[in-house]
């Protein structure tokens, strides 16, 4: 019976002209699999470092300006795009690790722990050296679609009826203690800054993007109580829809 089985196999090989693959084929395939796994871990770590960056700069103390329910505020302000990216890269890394000779033998739980553990630890290291902030800013410069997502996220803070507006400083009238602010909807606000506090010594400059806490007056008049940069690591960044 074994002879018949062997004969069938030989006939199949001959009929289908099956040729044995070289040793280098398997070595190259193994290296490619490990490379994709490593790349997925690095990209997942970078996504996680950006998530940590957003967590740091979020104005948690002012959550009630957006929604009285803290959990709702968290859901509204978390960087959903980067969370999806992190999970996607983690899934790719898991898939390719399972296709390595070492990973194939590992239990499911061990693979998941190893995969997520590497991404989280590496992501924490990248965040600590500021890679998350730099990567997010570079991505915003090079990916136009991302700016739309970013603006939607920042637009959550445009709630004048709840005492918060955001926008670009168009003009500062120091003698009258007023400034003009254009919000993402292209509405111009006159902001009274006569009795306001500034976040950690923040200095107003024309063209800067800011977040203003206070009270809405009549029409587009707003009395500022506190002014912060739109993002805490403020730079003279312009939202594309608001640029001149």
| HEC per residue, 141-161 | HHCHHHHHHHHHHHHCCCEHH
pLDDT of residue 20: 56
Q: Which structural domains are found in the chain, ordered by start? A: 2-142 (no CATH), 157-242 (2.40.50.140)
Dist. CA 146–CA 141, nearest whole Å: 9
Determine contact, residues 123/116, Cβ cutoff 8 Å.
no
pTM of the entire predicted model: 0.71
Q: Show the DSSP H helices in the chain as ranges.
A: 2-16, 23-57, 70-77, 80-97, 101-105, 108-128, 131-142, 144-155
Q: Is the pLDDT of residue 235 over 70?
A: no
Task: Round to whole Å and give the CA distance between 75 and 66.
Answer: 11
Least confident window among 12-26, 128-142, 192-206: 12-26
What confidence tier does 143 reach under pLDDT thresholds 50, 70, 90? confident
Per-residue pLDDT of 191-226, as tens digits, reads: 999 999 988 878 888 999 899 999 999 999 999 999
Q: What is the DSSP string of 54-73?
A: HHHHS-GGGGGGT-SSHHHH
Nearest CA among 242, 55, 244, 50 for reference residue 147: 242
pLDDT (average), residues 92-112: 75
CA–CA separation, 218 vs 182, rounded Å? 17
């Amino acid at each position: 019976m074994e002879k018949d089985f062997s004969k069938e196999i030989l006939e199949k090989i001959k009929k289908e002209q099956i040729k044995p693959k070289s040793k280098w084929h398997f070595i190259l395939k193994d290296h490619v699999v490990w490379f994709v796994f490593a790349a997925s871990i690095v990209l997942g770590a970078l996504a996680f470092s950006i998530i940590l960056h957003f967590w740091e700069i979020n104005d948690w103390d002012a959550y009630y300006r957006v929604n009285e329910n803290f959990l709702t505020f968290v859901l509204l302000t978390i960087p959903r795009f980067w969370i999806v990216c992190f999970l996607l890269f983690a899934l790719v890394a898991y898939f390719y690790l399972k296709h390595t000779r070492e990973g194939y033998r590992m239990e499911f739980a061990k693979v998941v722990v190893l995969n997520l553990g590497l991404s989280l630890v590496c992501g924490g290291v990248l965040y600590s050296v500021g890679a998350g902030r730099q990567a997010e800013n570079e991505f915003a410069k090079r990916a136009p679609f991302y700016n739309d997502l970013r603006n939607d996220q920042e637009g959550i803070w445009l709630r004048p009826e709840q005492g918060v507006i955001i926008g670009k400083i168009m003009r500062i009238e120091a003698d009258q203690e007023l400034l003009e602010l254009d919000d993402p909807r292209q509405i111009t606000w006159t902001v009274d800054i006569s009795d306001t506090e500034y976040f950690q010594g923040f200095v107003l400059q024309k063209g800067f993007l800011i977040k203003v806490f206070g009270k809405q007056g009549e029409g587009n008049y707003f009395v500022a109580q506190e002014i912060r940069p739109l993002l805490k690591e403020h730079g003279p960044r312009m939202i594309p829809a608001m640029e001149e």
